[in-house]
A and B are shown apart, each in its own frame.
Chain A
Amino acid sequence: MLHIIACCKWVIDEVYIKRGRGEEIDFSSVDWKISDYDRHALEEAVRIKDSLGGKVTVLTVGAENAVKGMKDMLSRGADEGCLIKDESFARLDPAVTADIIAHAVKSRLSPYDLIFFGDGSSDLYARQVGPRVAAKLGISCLTGVRKIAFKDGYVEAERSLEREIEIVQAPLPVAITVLPEINTPRIPGVKDTLLASRKPVLNLSSCDFPDYTVPAVRTVAIKAVRLDRGCVFFENNAGGISSLVEELKKKGILS
């Protein structure tokens, strides 16, 4: 019986990030989602459970609205949830998130065999939480994983590095951070959503954790990036495209 933990982050959907006045971000109409790569992490956990047997616990750390996130996560095949929620957990430094997850895993979710993470979150993309949790737990961490198999009690994984594919073998328990090409996540149906609200959830808050030292990394500003170049349009026909070519000549790109 494998116990597989999938860690998912509930994040602002970056599609809704709009530039307000100056460099400010207009957060007024944002929507939230499960961080993209984390959906693949959860899917992989569920697929392994489906083929080898066991249980999947989906874990999330966040603020009040993570409740909604947990429902969404549970509708994607997890058996149980672990919801670690506190107003002070809204914008955590990855180091603190990792401390919290490691503490929860050690004190509440052990024993476990596998812990899945997305390789980077859709909001911060710091790529720290997976390897830091593994370091805290004293287990191995396989990052950048795009394929997994089980052989003789070991995990065999394909890691995608910059210039190489590295095939590695690791004993359990192990932490794995996945790339999106590992699988195609399911889309939950109405029945899955209904079932999700009946699944058991372990609720934890800041009082279940020791005081973590204030992170030495502080966010001092968040600035929207200016991307708009005032697009000029041309028709997709001979006339339009020759005008485009003229413009490119004016810019000195063609002569």
Chain B
Amino acid sequence: MSGIWISSEEVAGVGMDIARMRGESLVRLVWRGEKAHISAYLPSLIDLVEKEKPSAVIFPSQVDLNDLAAGLASALNCPFISGCIKVAADETGLEAQRHIYGGAAVQVVRSDAWPVVLTLVGGERVELEGVEIKEVFPVSQTAVKVLERKVKESANRPITEAKVVISIGRGFKRREDIVLVKDLAARLSGEIGCTRPIASELHWLPESVCIGLSGVQVSPDLYLALGISGQVQHVVGIRGARVIVAVNQDEKAPIFGVADFGIVGDLYNFIPLFLEALKGTR
């Protein structure tokens, strides 16, 4: 058994660590062929893994790749740890951390059997040179047929790199009111983020700026939460923020339990006052 296989460079960081610890080499998978439904890749991936017996196969935690990982682990009857936020290999196996209870707790799990399948949340991207490559080809026939693909609307700049994030929740009453936040974002050179309902239910902002467990994790210098209740699934995505400011009219809103500074009040009153107060600043 040998080789640590990674499905892309997005997870190369952890792949390299495990490979180093086990004295094995890193192998990068290359996905060939026309894009079909993800199930098209499973048969050849299983064949390849059964033949070459890697110690680990690592994917980024994405919808399609999670399917592939689950299908692979099921076929191999091997451990699969999904949604890892941290992984460390040691002499006998590996230990991984993952969020549970919506992010209120961290579960530490161990696997002492190889091979193991992993998916990683926010893995560390490393550009690789001269690494061995294995090609995976799709089968031509699958039960699931793709009829259409539409590119999702996404933010122009990645919110993950923003220094200031102004984030909106269901405390906003109308879609038009987002203009108010745009002024604020422009003034603070920040990006606009949101909670899941704003993106996935109301479609007021693209899903690429939904922050939290099922969205992205951000770590700006300033996170300004406007009309956000602060359910744990959201706040798990802002833990890395340096300063969190929350505005909510409900003094019992959980967001205050995770904020550095809080204002109990109406966000519609807050925004103009805040803009005014910013006038003397750079």
Chain A interfacial positions (CB closer than 8 Å to B): 12, 14-15, 17, 25, 94-95, 98, 120, 122-128, 131-132, 135-136, 140-144, 146, 156, 159-171, 179-181, 213, 215-225, 227-238, 240-242, 244-245, 247-249, 251-255
Which 4 pairs across A and B sit closest by C-beta, in order of nearness? A236-B265, A131-B70, A135-B74, A216-B113
Chain B interface helix/strand/loop/mixed = mixed
Tell yes or no: B205 within 8 A of A by CB. no
* A127 CA / B119 CA spacing, docked (Å): 11
Interface residues of B in 241-268 (CB under 8 A from A): 242-247, 256-266
Known contacts A95-B74, A95-B80, A170-B145; 14 additional CB pairs below 8 A are A127-B66, A146-B200, A163-B208, A166-B149, A167-B147, A169-B147, A170-B143, A181-B201, A223-B105, A227-B235, A244-B261, A245-B277, A245-B281, A247-B261
In the bound complex, do residue A171 and residue B147 qualify as a contact, i.e. CB atoms below 8 Å apart?
no
> Would A236 and B263 be within 8 Å (CB), given that A128-B82, A167-B148 are in contact?
yes
Q: List 14 A-B contacts (CB under 8 A).
A: A17-B101, A95-B74, A125-B100, A126-B82, A143-B66, A161-B64, A170-B145, A179-B200, A220-B109, A225-B104, A225-B236, A229-B259, A229-B260, A248-B261
Interface centre among A17, A98, A131, A249, by most chain B C-beta atoms within 10 angstroms, is A131
Chain B interfacial positions (CB closer than 8 Å to A): 37, 39, 62-64, 66-67, 70-71, 73-75, 77-83, 95, 98-113, 116, 142-152, 154, 164, 196, 200-201, 207-208, 213-214, 221-222, 231-233, 235-236, 239, 242-247, 256-266, 269-270, 273-274, 276-278, 280-282
Q: In the complex, which of the residues A140, A163, A222, A253 contacts B100, with contact meaning CB atoms closer than 8 Å?
A: A222
In the bound complex, do residue A165 and residue B149 qualify as a contact, i.e. CB atoms below 8 Å apart?
yes
In the bound complex, do residue A217 and residue B110 qualify as a contact, i.e. CB atoms below 8 Å apart?
yes
Residue of B whose beta carbon sits closest to that of A122: B102
> Would A244 and B144 be within 8 Å (CB), given that A127-B66, A216-B112, A231-B262 are in contact?
no
In the bound complex, do residue A218 and residue B109 qualify as a contact, i.e. CB atoms below 8 Å apart?
yes
Which residues in A have their C-beta under 8 angstroms from that of B233?
A: 14
Which residues in B have their C-beta under 8 angstroms from that of A224?
A: 104-105
Which residues in A have their C-beta under 8 angstroms from that of B258?
A: 227-229
In the bound complex, do residue B245 and residue A244 qualify as a contact, i.e. CB atoms below 8 Å apart?
yes
> Would A127 and B82 be within 8 Å (CB), given that A135-B75, A227-B235, A255-B281 are in contact?
yes
* A161 CA / B64 CA spacing, docked (Å): 7
Tell me how far the C-beta of B41 lies from the nearest C-beta in chain A, rounded to whole angstroms: 13
